[in-house]
Structure 1
Amino acid sequence: MPTIAPAFADVTSSDSALRRFLHGLPGVDPVGLEARAASLGTRSIKTTAKAYAIDLAISMIDLTTLEGADTPGKVRALAAKAVNPDPTDRGTPATAAVCVYPDMVATAKAALGGADVKVASVATAFPAGRAALDVKLADTRDAVEAGADEIDMVIDRGAFLAGDYMKVFEEIRAVKEASGAARLKVIFETGELSTYDNIRRASWLGMMAGADFIKTSTGKVAVNATPANTLLMLEAVRDFRAQTGVQVGVKPAGGIRTSKDAIKFLVLVNETAGQDWLDNHWFRFGASSLLNDLLMQRQKLATGRYSGPDYVTVD
């Protein structure tokens, strides 16, 4: 599991040192970033490569339900779909994980049985993150004790935007420790960080604090994952590994609904971070409706016919 790199010990020794480092990162050229993301999104993927990309995307999904109306029955159904997304084709890959609230972790774990599908749990007063640290840590420990393999935490955006970077850093470190063996995904809520420079700073802050994954968003605000903010985060993990030797994953979440969208993101991964990230251990999609579109496109490639939404289950 990532730990703070020795190269950053001095950087994180004080609030002023951390501030100097984060504000000393190269500024982001918004026009250039968005132009590159748009350009990569025009790449055409056909036939065999498209079939491979669809299966890869399915295997990278954190199949998610994070609603107040979630019931044990809904979570069990979601777990069954994660293990066997298309009952008509047993060759369809399973998803990477099922993502639920902490109180549904035990239900999801039991429903998955021994399947090679992880249970991810949001924590730390998701989605707003407005709670005392001891509450956030208790939330995390409850999820881990219930069987969560992965923890998706939210940063304190208010503290970050106020420039209290050390508070955010120390909270991530504390949640990392409370997560134990569970992998930690750190959610920035990029739509609330206002600028690309802030997203770059948050990415480095999260990685220095020990994140196993950096994640764009909760899916609960107006602006979630975009090609541009994901490209920026992919550049950050690439550069972080080049500097430290530590590899960190990326998870765009929210707003990715179609196979076309998913394939665009896979192109971003390949062209920016490289093939080492083209694996569900290092790249995930936080999604629910995306899986259905991937299944319909997969069926079309296999049969030559577009079956339509009635041929996949409604989550």
Structure 2
Amino acid sequence: MEQVRNVEGTQLPQTVEPRNPGMPLDMDWVRAVQANTSAIERRAATLPGRRSVKKDHQAAWLLRAITCIDLTTLSGDDTEDRVRRLCAKARQPVRPDILQALGMERITTGAICVYHEMVPAAVEALRGTGIPVAAVSTGFPAGLSPYRLRLAEIGESVEAGASEIDIVISRRHVLGGNWQALYDEMKDFRAASGEAHVKAILATGELGTLRNVARASLVCMMAGADFIKTSTGKEGVNATLPVSLVMMRAIRAYHERTGYRVGYKPAGGISKAKDALTYLALVKEELGDRWLRPDLFRFGASSLLGDIERQLEHHVTGAYSASWRHAAG
């Protein structure tokens, strides 16, 4: 894997790729989408044991994973001080001595993801770094607040400085097969976001079937989503490999049809370095190397970074270290 660099002064990651403009809702395409659940589950089950990288190659993949993390805090007891500490970790996610031993320059995480109230503190803490601030919005996590308030929430987050908006869709539109309503909702959210890029959270654990996941993915991309994201992290079931396979194949089909690349973000429950490697391998196989960059791939995670840093220290020193040696915000 090519050397990972993300130094101060670089462009925001999402400015690299032409933005998905969306397309008219194509119901023939949506209805034609199916999902062979047993085949999908068999394919996903082979990944953890079949794809393995070791030593220097593993270290390189783990460094790439760090640059694709949306370092996240979405707790009811969040404070501005906690967010500032998290932003400091985003600016320097790996101890300098470990990076030096690896022959690496400074890297950063892909973004910081916070509630709307914490956006100003995050923007100020990251000023001049090029690290985007993502705000969860539209009545996160349930998406059941009044519609006008969901739209207003997007606008206020953008005004506060968020350059990425993670919106939650109305699950009832998917469960009821009301694809026009989902399309119209997503278009409104995209319009309210302006120049900020939009990640559509499908809450896949609440959509019932993999076919629903595939169809919802496609409709959100047709309506102009810049990313599709598995979960809020608050559902009973969050990111899984079968769901990821379905969503990645929808992204691939959309790219083949339109020429536009849409990003992918698995979120919730990804806390181990070995899991990150499995997801990166799946992205490489299903979408190709171009998606292995932060403008098209993100992990939604809060504890993943700590385990990756421990694995990198083990690679450098040959010994596992205690988690307290790696400040995680």
Choose which of 36, 48, 52 in structure 1 pairs with 2:43. Answer: 36
Bigger relative contact order (CA 8 A; separation at least 6) = 2
Equivalence for 2:114: 100
Query: 244, 250, 254: which is aligned to 1:236?
Result: 250
Deviations 1:222-247 (A, max 9, x none): 10001111111111111110111010
> 1:22: which partner in 2?
30
Within a 5 Å distance, the mapping from 1:283-294 to structure 2 comes to 283-294=297-308
Unaligned runs of 5+ in 2: 1-18, 100-104
1:41 touches 1:267 (CA, 8 Å); kept in 2?
Answer: no
Deviation, structure 1 residue 35: 1.2
User: Deviation per CA, 1:36-82, whole angstroms, max 9, x where unpaired?
Assistant: 11212221111121011100000000000011111000000000000
Looking at structure 2, the residues matched to 204 and 4 of structure 1 have their Cα atoms a distance apart, in angstroms, of: 10
Give 1:123's aligned amino acid: S
1:14 corresponds to: none
Is contact 2:133-2:164 (8 Å) kept?
A: yes
Map of 1:264 onto structure 2: 278
User: Corresponding residue for 1:3?
Assistant: 21
- Please state if 1:143 is matched with 2:157: yes
Return the match for 2:187 from 173, 177, 198.
173
Tell me by how many angstroms 1:168 deviates. 1.3
Give every structure 1 segment of 4 or more consecutive aligned residues whose post-TM-superposition deviation is greater than 4 Å: none
SS at match of 2:112: strand
Q: Once the two structures are superposed, what CA deviation does each residue of 1:89-148 show, in whole Å capped at 9, x if it has no partner?
A: 354521000000111111100011211211000000000000222111100000000000
Measured in 2, the distance between the counterparts of 1:212 and 1:314 equals 28
Structure 1, gaps ≥5 residues long? 12-17
CA distance in 1, matches of 2:134, 2:202: 17
Q: Of the candidates 206, 214, 228, which is equivalent to residue 228 of structure 2?
A: 214
Q: Which of 65, 86, 92 is 1:57 aligned to? A: 65
Q: Amino acid of the residue matched to residue 274 of structure 1? A: G
**Residue 16 (structure 2) aligns with:** none
Aligned partner of 1:30: which letter?
Answer: T
Residue 118 in 1 paired to residue 125 in 2? no
Do structure 1's residue 296 and structure 2's residue 310 form an aligned pair?
Answer: yes
- Separation in 2 of the partners of 1:248 and 1:88? 33
CA contact (8 A) 2:95 2:326 kept: no
- How many residues align? The count is 304
Distance 2:236 2:129 in 1: 34
Of the structure 1 ranges 92-101 and 264-273, higher mean CA displacement relative to structure 2 is found in: 92-101
Question: Could you say if the C-alpha distance between residues 179 and 10 of structure 1 is closer, same or farther in structure 2, counting changes exceeding 3 Å?
Answer: closer
The correspondence for 1:158, drawn from 172, 177, 199, is 172
Equivalent-residue separation in structure 1 for 2:313 and 2:107 (angstroms): 13
- Counterpart amino acid of 1:259? A
CA distance in 1, matches of 2:77, 2:25: 46
Distance in 1 (alpha carbons) for counterparts of 2:160 and 2:141: 20
Equivalent position SS for 1:68: coil
Contact 1:61–1:286 (CA under 8 A) maintained in structure 2: yes
TM-superposition CA deviations, 1:193-248 (whole Å, max 9, x none):
01000000011011000000000000001100011111111111111101110100
> Residues of 1 paired with 2:267 and 2:130: CA distance?
22
- TM-score normalised by structure 1 residue count: 0.94
CA contact (8 A) 1:75 1:107 kept: yes
CA RMSD across the alignment: 1.3
Query: What is the rounded CA distance, in whole Å, between the counterparts of 1:10 and 1:298 in structure 2?
Result: 46
Q: For each residue in 1:2-60, what CA deviation from the matched residue of structure 2 results, as whole angstroms up to 9, or x when unmatched? A: 1123xxx362xxxxxx3x542221x2111111111121222111112101110000000
TM-score between the two structures when normalised by the length of structure 2:
0.90
What secondary structure does 1:186 align onto?
strand
Report how far residue 87 of structure 1 moved: 3.6
Query: In structure 2, the residue corresponding to 1:300 is in which secondary structure?
Result: helix
Residues 301, 134 of structure 1: alpha-carbon distance in 2 compared, 3 angstrom cutoff: same
Q: Secondary structure at the match of 1:127?
A: coil
**What is the rounded CA distance, in whole Å, between the counterparts of 2:202 and 2:52 in structure 1?**
31
Amino acid aligned to 1:85: P
